[in-house]
Structure 1
Amino acid sequence: MSLSFDQLHGTNKRAAEILLGNDRGGYTVPSAKLYPFQWNWDSALVALGFSVFDPDRAWQEVESLLSAQWDNGMVPHIIFWKEEKSYFPGPEQWGTTDIAKAPPTSGITQPPVAATVIERLLAEDIDAHRDRAAKLLPKLDRWHQWFLDARDPDGRGVVAIMHPWESGRDNLPDWDRPLSFVDTTGIGGYHRRDTDIVNKDERPKNNDYDHYMALVRFGRDCNWNTDIIARDCPFWVAEPGMNAILRRAESDLIRMARCLGNDDIAARATARFARLDAGFELLWSETVGGYVTLDLRRGEHAIGLTSGSWLAMFAGPVEPARATTMASTLTHWLDQVEHGVPSFDPAHELFDSIRYWRGPVWAMINWMIATGLIEHGETDLAERIRRDTQSLIDQSDFREYFCPVTGRGGGGTDFSWTASMSLYWAARPETLPIPAHLSQSTAPTGTADQENT
């Protein structure tokens, strides 16, 4: 049941005010100055916060996001609804005007958390939201199919990213070695806008940005042709966060399709889920004792865990021995810092407590990790992460991310997904799937436990 805005108080009301302040009329910007457009997974997660006090506005958020879907099924990672020269790279750098529908967009995607969000919106009131959800299911189906066609054309069961930005976790140390093979000749002469707004010690370094822009150039030069990208892109990496979120999204899409009586979509999603479920094993590293990034060009596993490693439990049931090992390692991580979950191993030499994705804590990742832990019976550990997240917000307000050592905030201010996670987590501390008896059939192998949480 949703509340009215007037029924919110304290931190919850402040969170709602941030969402309303970043609302641009049907879509929400992550942060007014730093990110002035609609971002893909930011937008989906923001819908959860709106659902607490304005369900109609929550549905508008995901509807506007999916309205920018390309003809090939991809949902882009940035939608440039209005002209704004303060952001780089803008539409002219992406060069997608001949491919994307109006408005212009970027040429890559982001983790498809939208299906998981929409399932939760639907579960709030299935009768009230049935028609809106039914209109979005075909879009989700086409997007999920695009991932397997465009990012796993060899059928290995893991989807690749062709750019670090596509992972949503832009600056991970995981990308350092794969990026080292990207030719940056001729890249330069651009002006970064992010470091005009945010301390440069909190953002990717210029050398990283050169590699990012070289990959944008590659995509633009091949007109974002997915066959050429899959064959020739120098950066072709499978990582646990993206694959876990897609795997979860498929099981949530199956549940919605069954609930709404769309057997065709349920069947296609079930087939995709089986492929992803089998392929996820490729990301397990016995050496590290967890799910890690795999450089598909060179067949190399990363040598460290990231916060995305724990999303394996968000994706679906992990075998008990592995889940126990992962929970133990996560507890060890939390014991090394004041606030969790750091985005990279705090004992690793490349850990940087305040630089973008190389150490900081992110509220929305914490929510996904905690959700997976609850579904694996690790409720105390999940509650510890929830308390950590709220204490960071209480200390440093609704920042983009937080230092796990000191708790100070970094990146953008009045950040939408931090506000959304705080508000939604307070209102919905447990998982809220569509009731099993309404999904008309059993879940795909490996997801039955999720339906009984």
Structure 2
Amino acid sequence: MNGGTPTGPTPLRVGDPSDAERAATLRRLALTTLDANWEHDHTVPSRTLYPHQWSWDSAFIAVGLAHVRPDRAWRELRTLFAAQWADGRVPHIVFNPALRVGSYFPGPEFWDSGHADGAPPVATSGIVQPPVHASAAWLMHRRAPSAASVQALRWLYPRLVAQQRYLTGRRDVGGAGLACIVHPWESGLDNSPAWDDPMAAVPADAAVMRAYRRHDTAHVDAAHRPTDLDYARYVAIVAAYRAGRYRDEGLAGRQPFLVECPLVNAALGAAEHALARIAAVVGADPGPHRDRAARITEALVARLYDPVAGTFRPRDLRTDRLVPARTVLGLIPLILPDLPAGQVRAVLAEACSPRFGLAARMDRPLPSYDRTAPDFEPVRYWRGPSWLNTSWLLWRGLRAHHRPDLAAGLRESMLAVVARAGCHEYFHPDTGEGLGSPAFSWTAALLLDVLADG
């Protein structure tokens, strides 16, 4: 399943009059998608597959909404952070109480957050997602600065600081200043090959899933989704965390999955850079944020950079080894403005290699996994398909490190794939075919942001 002749759309010529027409069409598509997915105080990722509020989805969605519905954009983040736990964690799902019990798995009855110390009154999950929210808030304010955006930042700032404190404190299991994830879902790249080795050590039986009803395979081809054995392991990891009421004390002794993720920690460092800018707006001291950002980048390079492979890799804290899979996770540290020049060069070389195919003129979208790997799967969730959010993160990193040529090539590939297939959840990395959920919110939102920077 990992071959085929590229059949993606040919990029438009600079100055082509149809470029403006295409941009207008894409803006209408994006806005229609976001309006259809608005749910009174937040945006659902999709009406079919993901009917609640997801954490990093909301951050990406807010970035796009800032261009067209700024009031709605700030409400998106306010709703999410209203469900923040007392310890500072921002849950990866905030459940809509209006939906019937059993309408989504794993739902609120599975997570049982109400019995955890410090959980909010609303039902949530007990795990987190990458902390892209401070960066999103800064982009939103920068897009449309106003008295209202300053007021919104004043409300968000202490909550964003608490989120950072939680991740760099309670989740620093390795003791080196990086955040540890306790579940693949916390990375955002749920089913990535990056988690195969750490997941293999999690005891589980696929028969466990007979007690549950998965809803994803009712909407999407099962061949495109995680297997039942993967899901059984996901359930086992949550069960272990839930049994301790989601407390983080003693994680090393009871949690079967403990990994330092390059994307999560790059987002953590980027958040401190954003918080330094936000602090200056709201009258706080930016200095401590700059200091913490520098320390996170230093720890990220020391702990997760593989000088032999020339890329960043997750570290499995159970074995204290770097994970061998070469995934898009290894490219995302480029979002750090203070990433040392040697690592910048190495990440660019990795991104431009046949494994990922970044170029000033791309004939295929950026894959989520090394397309030359023997286990590359172009249609299975995070094991090959192209996603707009990881492409967008890399695009922002390319701009930060002054590679407008590569940024332009990646931008065009993002526009072309949506122009061809619509606002799908993810895309075939060879043909550009739309996969997963249609009418997907972060695809629409990030499309608006990419269009705005043409």
Q: What TM-score do the two structures reach when normalised by structure 2?
A: 0.89
- The residue that corresponds to 1:114 in the other structure is 133
Change (3 A) 1:205 1:144: same
Does the CA contact (< 8 Å) of 1:338 and 1:404 recur in 2?
A: no
- The residue that corresponds to 1:438 in the other structure is none
Does the CA contact (< 8 Å) of 1:338 and 1:407 recur in 2?
A: no
Q: Counterparts in 2 of 1:89-238, with a 5 A limit?
A: 89-99=106-116, 100-128=119-147, 129-184=149-204, 187-188=208-209, 189-238=211-260
Out of 312, 336, 341, the residue aligned to residue 315 of structure 1 is: 336
**SS of structure 2 residue aligned to 1:187:** helix
- The residue that corresponds to 2:13 in the other structure is none
Shift of 1:98: 2.5
- The residue that corresponds to 1:303 in the other structure is 324
Shift of 1:334: 4.3
By relative contact order (CA 8 Å, sep 6+), the higher-ranking structure is: 2
Out of 64, 72, 80, the residue aligned to residue 65 of structure 1 is: 80
Distance 1:350 1:159 in 2: 29
**SS of structure 2 residue aligned to 1:217:** helix
Shift of 1:320: 2.5
Shift of 1:424: 1.4
The yes-or-no answer on 1:292 pairing with 2:313 is: yes
> What percent identity do the matched residue pairs reach?
35
AA paired with 2:129? Q
Distance 1:354 1:37 in 2: 24
Distance 1:296 1:173 in 2: 17
- The residue that corresponds to 1:439 in the other structure is none
- The residue that corresponds to 1:329 in the other structure is 350
Which range moves more in the overlay, 287-296 or 109-118?
Answer: 287-296
Change (3 A) 1:36 1:183: same
**SS of structure 1 residue aligned to 2:208:** coil
The yes-or-no answer on 1:275 pairing with 2:295 is: yes
Does the CA contact (< 8 Å) of 2:173 and 2:251 recur in 1?
A: no
Distance 1:202 1:89 in 2: 19
Distance 2:293 2:339 in 1: 15
**SS of structure 2 residue aligned to 1:226:** coil
Shift of 1:153: 4.4
- The residue that corresponds to 2:60 in the other structure is 45
Distance 1:173 1:125 in 2: 39
- Cα deviation, 1:21-41, whole Å, max 9, x if unaligned, reads 000011000000100000000
Shift of 1:95: 1.5
- The residue that corresponds to 2:420 in the other structure is 395
Distance 1:177 1:324 in 2: 28
- The residue that corresponds to 2:18 in the other structure is none
Distance 1:315 1:244 in 2: 6
- Cα deviation, 1:274-308, whole Å, max 9, x if unaligned, reads 43122102101122111111101101112232112
Tell me which stretches of 4 or more aligned residues in structure 1 moved more than 6 Å: none
AA paired with 2:138? E
Change (3 A) 1:310 1:119: same
Distance 1:72 1:262 in 2: 21
Does the CA contact (< 8 Å) of 1:93 and 1:216 recur in 2?
A: no
Which range moves more in the overlay, 252-261 or 63-72?
Answer: 252-261
Does the CA contact (< 8 Å) of 1:52 and 1:424 recur in 2?
A: yes
Distance 1:259 1:335 in 2: 39
AA paired with 1:63? R
The yes-or-no answer on 1:260 pairing with 2:282 is: yes
- The residue that corresponds to 1:444 in the other structure is none
Which range moves more in the overlay, 183-192 or 346-355?
Answer: 183-192
Distance 1:58 1:182 in 2: 39
AA paired with 2:126? G
Change (3 A) 1:334 1:293: closer
Shift of 1:318: 2.8
Out of 8, 26, 41, the residue aligned to residue 26 of structure 1 is: 41
Structure 1 spans left out of the alignment, 5+ residues:
1-7, 430-453
- Cα deviation, 1:385-419, whole Å, max 9, x if unaligned, reads 11111111111111000011111111111000000
AA paired with 1:206? D
Out of 405, 419, 441, the residue aligned to residue 416 of structure 1 is: 441
- The residue that corresponds to 2:5 in the other structure is none
Q: How many residues align?
A: 420
Shift of 1:155: 3.0
Does the CA contact (< 8 Å) of 2:52 and 2:96 recur in 1?
A: yes
Q: What TM-score do the two structures reach when normalised by structure 1?
A: 0.89
Shift of 1:154: 4.8
- The residue that corresponds to 2:17 in the other structure is none
Q: Counterparts in 2 of 1:330-349, with a 5 A limit?
A: 330-332=351-353, 333-335=355-357, 338-349=363-374
- The residue that corresponds to 1:443 in the other structure is none
Does the CA contact (< 8 Å) of 2:313 and 2:323 recur in 1?
A: yes
Q: Counterparts in 2 of 1:355-434, with a 5 A limit?
A: 355-429=380-454
**SS of structure 1 residue aligned to 2:113:** coil
Structure 2 spans left out of the alignment, 5+ residues:
1-22
Shift of 1:131: 1.3
Distance 2:252 2:324 in 1: 24
Distance 1:9 1:392 in 2: 15
